[in-house]
Amino acid sequence: MATIKDVAALSGVSVSTVSIILNGKAKDRKISVETQDKIMEAIKALNYRPSVSAKKLRSPNAKEYTIALYWASDFRTNYLARLISGFQSEISNYQYPINIVICPYRSGSLFLEKGLQSDHTFNAAIIANTSISDMEYLNNNLPKIPTVLYNRYSEQYNTVTIDNFEVGRKAAMLLINKGIKDNIGLVHFKAPYLAMTLRSQGFIDTCIKHSIQFSDENVINTEGSIQGGVLAAEIFLKRKHLPKAIFCDSDSLAQGLLHVFNKKNIKIPEDSQIIAVGLGSPEASQYSTPPLTVVEIPLEKMAAECLRLIINVLEHRTDTSFHVNYESKLIIRDSCS
Amino acid sequence: MATIKDVAALSGVSVSTVSIILNGKAKDRKISVETQDKIMEAIKALNYRPSVSAKKLRSPNAKEYTIALYWASDFRTNYLARLISGFQSEISNYQYPINIVICPYRSGSLFLEKGLQSDHTFNAAIIANTSISDMEYLNNNLPKIPTVLYNRYSEQYNTVTIDNFEVGRKAAMLLINKGIKDNIGLVHFKAPYLAMTLRSQGFIDTCIKHSIQFSDENVINTEGSIQGGVLAAEIFLKRKHLPKAIFCDSDSLAQGLLHVFNKKNIKIPEDSQIIAVGLGSPEASQYSTPPLTVVEIPLEKMAAECLRLIINVLEHRTDTSFHVNYESKLIIRDSCS
DNA sequence: CTGTTAGCGCCTTCAC
DNA sequence: GTGAAGGCGCTAACAG
């Protein structure tokens, strides 16, 4: 990048002259129009852009933190919206600016992200939805900046989590307590994410533990979108018997099921009950047709906590690493009641 | 904020010693443990935090832009998610990092945002969902950094817009072409946002122009959430005659109507047709019960365009200010077909 | 083992 | 009208 010095050299004046013009004080200092034009030309020719770092360094520096949120770009921006809400509410508690920078990364390629390995980009980082290989990378390459993991656990990191296995277990227990004994369906997004696998595992293990039939035929891997739920529903409809109850690893998937079942006049919950993990907008689950029973994940609170804790680290209020665990909450609505 | 110099002074060593320790090179340089402890203590005592600006300034500076997105915090984070998607896809076209910082602001209080009036915070800004008073402020106080307005028009700014009036007109024309002649409802979020007002206005004016009855009783102001739509639906249900068609100024509102109408076994579109402005997840409208007819706003494309254009400005590829206008798109689905 | 110093890009004060 | 110099916080030689 060209500097003010380059501009000065090219236009044959001194740096201070350039600086004066850049700051719109040309009139005050009575700089000749020719000089100004010369300098403007040089600026364009060199594609000069002022360095915010240099400016910030010089200015009486107010306190300010810039915190990166690493977000796998194949994850639903719906969930991201909930984290941002959480950050917003936490940020309002502070007197100084806290900048959240959204850093999308390709799942499995977190190692490409230079920001984590440099200490001149962000003050701290919050890392969300890492895949198993991303976790492996992180465990072998500690970032240069303070870091919290969002909904992932590692001894070596600060973490804010929920018990994902328990999420699946809660869903299974609801069905079990309702006396359902067989023909249970499971829809999930097949991907290398531990959190998801744990939820499904919690569901399956709990079913099996209570000697509930669980046929592989009723486990459907699909995309993590409403469309994915639509596809899953169509597969279920081709079977002889619709599952009596279906666990969806996200509410997006469940919305897809609801759509298809409603269209085909399949009654929910009479013909098939639906329960989902609450990751998207809680309002959307609450007001779907019919309202969706969910194991709600407190994404906003977790995000706010991540931010609060990482700021504590930045301010030297925390010495050791922390591991905070949140509770998921079963919300029973008409889709499974 | 304390500096490395303060730390050095307090612990009675030189700045370089502190720097060595901060960068984890204590072992290499064989700094005594006592010195290290002394320094660590001083760091905590002074609550010292390294300045990223100073570090960045010193390091061989790769090109990088930090762009602020000003987003009114009372707006739905759903819509925000779509902008972020748009940014993501655009960012992937560049070889250097483009950091998007989400700056939430209180609607009507954009003037409090110091980042716009300083040039040592962000390289550029994208400003979204300004209220009428925010626009007034902006027109009288040009920011110090290159700026684009998102879905707002002003001569003095770069702008990326849609024709909001036309959005309402399109919705009205659909109903008119279907031969609906009276008892039309309108649900919107009453707030000082020009874009919304324009959409409603476009709808109302078009109805009136085609000599369609339009009673004020059928215009409902509510919150801009699904809950708001639920409330609106309940108000409609208390009337003698349900509107034959209802225009919702956002799909969130429409989801609330769908929920209530479905529950009360009111048939859509037979008993009442629903048409909405598509601001939330397009997938959610597509797969609701019934699928929702929307005038879809290309939020992602507009966001990507904002970013592309503002980078052109930063790179001196654009000289004059620009005004780009996007087309909304009527998508007819079962709720009004 | 630790200290001194130059310089990253920029702006401001002072001098010419 | 314009230039020279100092310093913002930090690191990396280079000196001891």
- pLDDT of residue A206 exceeding 90, the answer is yes
Using one digit for the tens of pLDDT, what is the confidence trace for A216-257?
A: 889 999 999 999 999 999 999 998 889 999 999 999 999 999
User: Buried b / exposed e across A88-126, counting CB within 10 Å, b at 16+?
Assistant: bebbeeeeebbbbbbbbbebbebbebebbebbbbbbbbb
Q: 10 Å Cβ neighbour count for B324? A: 15
Q: CA–CA separation, B24 vs B18, rounded Å?
A: 10
Q: A93 at the B interface (CB within 8 A)? A: no
- Listed by number, the residues of chain B in 136-155 with a beta carbon closer than 8 Å to a beta carbon of chain A are none
SS (HEC) of B138-154: HHHCCCCCCEEEECCCC
Question: Residue A220 carries which side chain, given as an amino acid letter?
Answer: I
Q: How far is CA B17 from CA A60, B6, B24, B35, B50, in A?
A: 25, 13, 11, 9, 15
CA distances from A16 to A7, A49, A58, A332, B20 (A): 11, 16, 15, 68, 34
Residue A254 · residue A276 · CB < 8 Å: yes
Please give the angle made by the CA atoms of A73, B105 and B154, to the nearest 5 degrees: 95
Tell me, yes or no, if the pTM score tops 0.85: yes
Q: In DSSP terms, which residues pair with A88 in a beta bridge?
A: none
Reading the block at residue B128, the tokens are 């979204």
- Token pair 């945002």 is found at B113
What DSSP line would sit under A9-34, residue for residue?
HHHTS-HHHHHHHHTT-TTTTT--HH
The pLDDT assigned to B284 comes to 96
For chain B, the maximum distance between any two Cα atoms, rounded to a whole number of angstroms, is 89
Beta pairing partners, A160: A150, A324
- Number of residue pairs across A and B with CB atoms under 8 Å? 153
| Sequence-separated (6 or more) residues with CB below 8 Å from residue A80 | A71, A102, B81, B84
**Residues 6 or more apart whose Cβ sits within 8 Å of residue A23:** none
Q: Which of residues 92-111 of A touch strand D (CB under 7 A)?
A: none
Q: How far is C-alpha A232 from the geometric centre of its chain's CA atoms?
A: 25
Shortest alpha-carbon distance between residue B211 and chain A (Å): 35
Reported as type and span, the H/E element at residue B261 is helix B251-263
Q: Is A333 on the interface with B (CB under 8 A)?
A: no
Q: How close B205 gets to chain A, by Cα (Å)?
A: 32
Q: Which residue has the tokens 């959240």?
A: A100
Stretch (H or E) spanning B69: strand B65-72
Q: What is the C-alpha separation between A261 and A185, in angstroms, rounded?
A: 14
Which of B91, B148, B145, B90 is CA-nearest to residue B122?
A: B145
A115 touches chain B (CB under 8 A): yes
Express each pLDDT in A275-326 by its tens digit: 999 999 999 999 999 999 999 999 999 999 999 999 999 999 988 899 999 9
Query: Residue B315: closest CA among chain A residues belongs to which residue?
Result: A47
pLDDT (0 to 100) of residue A75: 86
- Report the half-sphere exposure of A54 (CA within 13 A, side-chain side): 10
Name which of B104, B114, B283 is nearest A226 (Cβ-Cβ).
Answer: B283
Chain B contact for A109 (CB, 8 A cutoff): no
Check if A78 contacts B (Cβ < 8 Å): yes
Taken in order of first residue, the domains within chain B and their CATH numbers are 4-49 (no CATH), 65-161+300-327 (3.40.50.2300), 164-297+331-336 (3.40.50.2300)
Q: For residues B240 and B233, is the Cβ–Cβ distance under 8 A?
A: no
Whether the CB of B86 is below 8 Å from some CB of chain A: the reply is: no
Please return the burial class of A288, using the count of CB atoms within 10 Å of its CB with bins 0-12, 13-18 and 19+: buried
The string of DSSP letters for B161-222 reads EE-HHHHHHHHHHHHHHTT--S-EEEEEE-SS-HHHHHHHHHHHHHHHHTT----GGGEEEE
Beta strands B245-248; B98-105: pairing state: unpaired
- Which pLDDT score is estimated for B65? 95
Q: Tell me the sheet residues that pair with B70.
A: B103, B127
Position B285, amino acid = S
A119 and B50 in contact by Cβ < 8 A? Answer: yes
> What is the secondary structure of A36-93 as a DSSP string?
HHHHHHHHHHHT----HHHHHHHS-----EEEEEEEETTS-HHHHHHHHHHHHHHHTT
What pLDDT does residue A193 have?
Answer: 81
Mind listing the pLDDT tens digit for each residue in B281-334? Answer: 999 999 999 999 999 999 999 999 999 999 999 999 988 899 999 999 999 999
Closest CA of chain A from B305, distance in Å: 18
Q: Is the CB of B29 under 7 A from strand D?
A: no
Residue A5 near chain B (CB below 8 Å): no
- Ramachandran class of B81: left when φ > 0, alpha when ψ lies in -120 to 50, beta otherwise: alpha
User: Which residue matches tokens 């699904």?
Assistant: B226
Residue B129 pLDDT = 94
Tokens in use for B59? Answer: 């390091």
Q: Which residues contact B270 (CB under 8 A, 6 or more apart)?
A: none
Contact A255 B284 (CB under 8 A): yes
Chain A CB contacts of B58 below 8 Å? 120
Strand B219-222 and strand B323-326: the pairing is unpaired
Calculate how close chain A gets to B68, using CA atoms only, in Å: 9
DSSP state of A335: G
What's the pLDDT score for residue B265? 96
Instruction: Give me the pLDDT at residue A290, please.
Output: 97
The separation between CA B315 and the C-alpha centre of its own chain, rounded to angstroms, equals: 24
Cis peptide before B290 (omega within 30 of 0): yes
The type of residue at A128 is A
Tokens, residue B134? 């925010």
Per-position pLDDT tens, chain B of length 337: 889 999 999 999 999 999 999 988 888 888 888 889 999 999 999 999 999 999 999 987 789 999 999 999 888 898 999 999 999 999 999 999 999 999 999 999 999 999 999 999 999 999 999 999 999 999 999 999 999 999 999 999 999 999 999 999 999 999 999 999 899 999 998 887 877 789 999 999 999 999 998 888 899 999 999 999 999 999 999 988 899 999 999 999 999 999 999 999 999 999 999 999 999 999 999 999 999 999 999 999 999 999 999 999 999 998 889 999 999 999 999 999 8
DSSP string, A270-317: TT-EEEEEE-S-HHHHHTSSSPPEEEE--HHHHHHHHHHHHHHHHTT-
Q: Do A120 and B59 touch (CB under 8 A)?
A: yes
- The residues facing A245 across adjacent strands are A184, A273
Backbone φ and ψ for A189, nearest 5 degrees, come out as: -90, 115
**B298 vs A78: which has the higher pLDDT:** B298
Partnered with residue B100 across adjacent β-strands are A102, B67
Does an H or E element contain A126, and which? Answer: strand A124-128
Whether any strand C atom is under 7 angstroms from the Cβ of B26: the reply reads no
Minimum Cα–Cα distance from B256: chain A residue = A287
